[in-house]
Amino acid sequence: MHRHRVALRTLALFAVALLPAAGCGNAAAPAGPAATSTLTEPPIRVGFLNPSGGPVPQPGADTGAQAALSYLNGEFGGIHGHPIELVSCDTDTTPERAQSCANTFVEKKVVAVMDGYNLSSSAALPALTAAQIPLVGMIPFDSVTGAKAENRVFFAAPQASFLVGALQAFQSAGKKSVTLALADTPASHQTIDKLLPVVAKALGIEAKGIYFSPTNPNFTAVASAIAQDNPDVGGLIAAPSEAVCTALVKALRQLRYQGTIFTAACTDYIKAAPQQSAGGALYSSNWLPAASAYAPPQAKTELALAQRYIKAVPDAVPGYYAYGEFALFATFAQAMSAAPETELTGPGVLRSLKGLKDFPSFLGPNITCGSATSPNCTTQMLLFGVQSDGSVKPVTETWITPVHQILAAIPGAV
């Protein structure tokens, strides 16, 4: 499964919110392709901070978790023959809800908790750390969670990599000005007020950040604010939902904005109008189905596998978060299957994951975990350009590695 990776450089960032509902319980594995019931070892329990409820839900993450569970308990064969029993807990933006979920996970004696791109995951950490239950995720959307390495492992890049990487790539392509919008939250002000100016100055790019209401956004106004300066790149640093991307792209096109429309990690708007979407750009922590034609052989195989299981989930919500969550569970299972069976405990899981070296992650780059200062196992990311046929093509031949000197100034980035 070893894949050839060559590092380039770039600039980009994440700061969105996915939010969940209320209620915890055990999630049974969905009946997916090749699902079986041949696993006879005792199940291992894994928690899931599920962002399917709340004011800005992100149901794609739950789709990915369900699909992954079907695959892992079916044709993958479990972890050392043990089926995975998922303890799913719906969350919202409140720390209180995250704390409640953490208490449930401790009570259920899970060996790890999977983070569903949760904005309040740091509130779960005190209880999980005290119980020696690691938090495992892709991208830490909670900046407090992402600032330290204690009792947590994230397989994808830190938030800062996505802003740094994208801007770096735009600068390399000769683009000199960007105007980017973000939902108005406390974390957003860290990104726009503090990080964006520093990154822009380091790259020699003119950058402007604007906000929109997370509960009552006016995308006609946002599009007008972007288009009035006619920047080379305009769009979103991050998006709380696919609907946000679709609304902003539509508004910018109505204003006849001719620059590159940057849509964070959104993809649904491309399916609705591929020709109008052409020339846009989006980032990702992993390979996406729309990029399959350009993916290396191993990633192409993994995309086909994930797509098969995601499509089998009832009322599936495919998209970036579904594939990201599938990749999280798959990489976790692959890593723990490579570790001794005796490591299927909270401390053992943390020890095994932090010990990963040049490990091929599912749909992602090779990862090396265990940094003393960062919970993330890589800083690499992908930036895609939207093609007229609806596919997305990497703007570089391989993974982008953001400039180390910039990331080093951001707590938890490296």
163-197 confidence digits (pLDDT tens): 999 999 999 999 999 999 998 877 788 889 988 99
- Stretch 379-402: mean pLDDT, rounded? 95
- Stretch 136-152: mean pLDDT, rounded? 94
Number of domains in the chain: 2
Residue 2 domain-assigned (yes or no): no
Same domain for 112 and 62?
yes
Task: Give CA–CA dist 288/347, Å, rounded.
Answer: 33
Given this model, what pLDDT does residue 16 score?
33
Written as one letter, the residue type at 91 is T
Residue 250 domain-assigned (yes or no): yes
Same domain for 175 and 145?
no
Given this model, what pLDDT does residue 290 score?
95
Same domain for 333 and 345?
yes
Say if residues 400 and 382 touch (Cβ distance below 8 Å).
Answer: yes
Long-range CB contact pairs, 296-305, < 8 A, 24+: 296/3, 296/4, 298/1, 298/3, 298/360, 299/3, 299/363, 302/330, 302/362, 302/363, 303/363, 305/71
Same domain for 150 and 180?
no
Range of the domain at 276: 159-291+380-407
Written as one letter, the residue type at 337 is S
Same domain for 116 and 165?
no
- Tell which residue, 51, 72, 73, 74, has the closest CA to residue 63: 51
Same domain for 42 and 151?
yes
Count other C-beta atoms under 10 Å from residue 218's C-beta. Answer: 13
Tens of pLDDT along 216-244?
899 999 999 999 999 999 999 988 778 88
- CATH of residue 362: 3.40.50.2300
Q: Is the pLDDT of residue 26 over 90?
A: no
Same domain for 321 and 252?
no
